[in-house]
């Protein structure tokens, strides 16, 4: 069990308005920085090993609850179930069918292949999980397992991720796992470079339901790749991706929206009235949904492709670090893969440390050969996804006519190629990988 050495009170440069909880400085095997979904999951997985684990994160949510809902594949579901962090069924909705439409109305329908249906009782292609519920469940499970935490009470909503990072640096850990997301302050101090390519788009998230009555979603998810004119009469068209993801469980009648658009359109969508929003939604769904109204606030995120060069390294001869999740890579949400890739990082690190425990426990936790093996494995695994997501995004964002022909013909042909479609679905579901 971790050994808590001493208690600290805020001092020196840390005298700010925040109320600090008792900040504990410890000797531990592993310190996880960041209590997001990847950080919490990594902590719960690694605490299954014969190692002491501590988490550095916030005691209370910094902002309003995250309104997003994530598409979670079967491998991620399995990981979350294993650590008892899968939220209740009302927050996890099975997707039975996915309908994807190109800018010229070509449709690709995704259903779970029969060969996969036989392997499990569920017919779900993927699960739409409400982020607020997932974060709460992970926090509850961390509490239940009494995983020691170094925490900062953000009740006065002061945002400064670097300050808790400074506190975390005082934890004496042989291995530090950095899961601080794409804006990680700790990463900025390491010998690694991050390439960032903004997509030039922002994502808007909100929840919508039918104005008149309760039209159930029956597990249908929808996505449109549109070229739209934002100015009436203008020949200029801009690219947007709209996803309607079913939420509220099997009997649910609501959708979580992820709407990726230009910055200008994003701010219009964020501030327009409810009626105007419904109208814009009707137009972007090509009239398929004409009475959906938003019933939660609208939150937005800038979208950037980022990849980090080194995912592991040493602080000194006895202490090393690795990166997991968005801290190592972030992608466009068009394929709903970002968190799935992050959870697969957490799982891979767990497997490497488990193998060490079983077969080479003489090897120190800070040994870079061990950590580089994790890094190599994950870079190889995520590369095809990052490339694929980037190509699709660029194909649709382009104004060249030839790209228009390629994407629309591509949609048509892809829908008829059963074997390719099945292979793609299995990859996205992470089946047999
Ligand atoms: C609109 C949108 C929709 C998406 N939809 C999907 C989807 O459908 N499916 C999917 O798989 N992915 C999706 N993603 C991607 C997903 O959001 C990310 O991949 C995921 O949140 C990454 O989790 P993380 O824990 O690595 O990082 P984060 O969620 O960014 O969490 C990092 C945490 O660390 C904390 N932190 C930062 N600095 C410090 C510090 N110094 N000390 C301590 N704590 C610190 C932060 O406050 C935060 O709590 C979507 C993304 C967007 C923008």
- Percentage of the chain with pLDDT > 90? 58
Ligand 1, atom 52, residue with closest C-alpha: 333
Residue 255 exposure: Cα atoms within 13 Å on the Cβ side:
27
* Backbone dihedral angles phi then psi of residue 38, each to the nearest 5 degrees: -70, -45
- Percentage of the chain with pLDDT > 70? 75
Ligand 1, atom 45, residue with closest C-alpha: 34
* Residue of 278 and 147 predicted with greater confidence: 278
* Residue of 220 and 122 predicted with greater confidence: 220
Cα 160 versus chain centre, distance: 21
pLDDT band at residue 14 under the 50/70/90 scheme: very low
Please state which of the ranges 4-13, 97-106, 281-290 shows the lowest mean pLDDT: 4-13
pLDDT tens for each residue of 309-343? 999 999 999 999 999 999 999 999 988 899 999 99
Is the CB of residue 148 below 6 angstroms from any atom belonging to ligand 1?
Answer: no
Walk me through the domains of the chain, giving residue ranges and CATH numbers: 3-65+132-196+305-396 (3.50.50.60)
- Tokens at residue 153, please? 């009470």
Mean pLDDT for the chain overall: 82
Q: Which residue is associated with the tokens 């009170």?
A: 9
Q: From the CA of 399, how far away is ligand 1's center (Å)?
A: 31
Please state which of the ranges 21-30, 177-186, 283-292 shows the lowest mean pLDDT: 21-30
Is the pTM of the predicted complex or chain greater than 0.85? yes
The strand ranges marked E within 364-425 are none
pLDDT band at residue 273 under the 50/70/90 scheme: very high
Q: How far apart are CA 8 and CA 29, in angstroms?
A: 20
pLDDT band at residue 246 under the 50/70/90 scheme: very high
Is the CB of residue 342 below 6 angstroms from any atom belonging to ligand 1?
Answer: yes
- Tokens at residue 221, please? 């998810």
State the Cα angle at 344 between 206 and 84, rounded to 5°.
Answer: 75
CB 293 within 8 A of CB 274: yes
The predicted structure's pLDDT at residue 128: 97
Q: DSSP for 142-174?
A: HHHTT--EEEEE-TT----HHHHHHHHTTSEEE
* Residue of 413 and 360 predicted with greater confidence: 360
The predicted structure's pLDDT at residue 426: 62
Is the CB of residue 151 below 6 angstroms from any atom belonging to ligand 1?
Answer: no
The strand ranges marked E within 229-290 are 238-247, 254-261
Q: Percentage helix, strand, coil, to 5, in the chain?
A: 35, 30, 35
pLDDT tens for each residue of 47-98? 999 999 999 876 555 567 899 999 999 999 999 999 999 998 999 999 999 8
pLDDT tens for each residue of 138-173? 999 999 998 887 765 444 434 455 555 555 566 789
Q: What is the mean pLDDT of residues 223-238?
A: 77
Q: How far apart are CA 97 and CA 221, in angstroms?
A: 6
CB 304 within 8 A of CB 198: yes
């Amino acid at each position: 069990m971790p050994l808590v050495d001493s208690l600290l009170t805020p001092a020196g440069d840390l005298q700010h308005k925040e109320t600090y909880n008792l900040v504990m400085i410890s000797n531990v095997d592993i310190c996880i920085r960041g209590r997001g979904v990847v950080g919490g999951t990594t902590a719960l997985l690694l605490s299954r090993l014969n190692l002491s684990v501590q988490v550095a994160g916030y005691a209370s949510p910094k902002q309003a609850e995250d309104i997003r809902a994530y598409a979670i594949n079967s491998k991620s579901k399995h990981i979350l179930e294993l650590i008892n962090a899968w939220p209740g069924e009302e927050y996890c909705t099975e997707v039975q069918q996915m309908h994807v439409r190109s800018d010229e109305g070509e449709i690709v329908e995704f259903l779970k292949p029969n060969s996969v249906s036989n392997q499990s009782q569920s017919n779900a292609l993927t699960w739409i999980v409400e982020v607020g519920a997932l974060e709460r469940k992970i926090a509850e499970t961390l509490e239940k397992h009494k995983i020691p935490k170094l925490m900062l009470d953000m009740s006065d909503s002061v945002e400064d991720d670097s300050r808790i990072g400074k506190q975390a640096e005082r934890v004496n850990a042989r291995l530090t796992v950095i899961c601080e997301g794409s804006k990680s302050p700790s990463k900025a101090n390491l010998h690694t470079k991050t390439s960032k390519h903004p997509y030039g788009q922002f994502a808007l998230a909100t929840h919508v339901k039918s104005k008149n009555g309760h039209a159930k979603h029956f597990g249908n998810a929808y996505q449109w790749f549109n070229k739209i004119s934002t100015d009436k009469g203008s020949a200029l068209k801009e690219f947007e991706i709209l996803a309607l993801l079913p939420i509220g469980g099997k009997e649910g009648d609501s959708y979580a929206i992820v709407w990726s658009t230009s910055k200008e359109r994003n701010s219009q969508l964020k501030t327009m009235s409810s009626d105007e929003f419904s109208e814009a939604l009707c137009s972007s769904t090509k009239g398929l949904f004409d009475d959906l109204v938003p019933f939660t606030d609208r939150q937005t995120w800038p979208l950037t492709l980022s990849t980090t060069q080194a995912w592991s390294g040493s602080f000194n001869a006895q202490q090393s670090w690795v990166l997991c999740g968005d801290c190592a890579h972030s992608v466009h949400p068009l394929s709903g893969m970002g968190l799935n890739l992050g959870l697969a990082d957490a799982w891979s690190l767990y497997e490497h440390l488990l193998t060490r425990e079983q077969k080479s426990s003489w090897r120190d936790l800070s040994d870079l050969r061990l950590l580089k093996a994790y890094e190599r494995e994950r870079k190889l695994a995520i590369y095809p996804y990052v490339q694929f997501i980037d190509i699709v995004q660029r194909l649709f964002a382009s104004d060249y006519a030839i790209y228009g022909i390629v994407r629309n013909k591509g949609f048509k042909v892809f829908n008829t190629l059963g074997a390719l479609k099945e292979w793609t679905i299995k990859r996205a579901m992470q089946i047999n990988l």
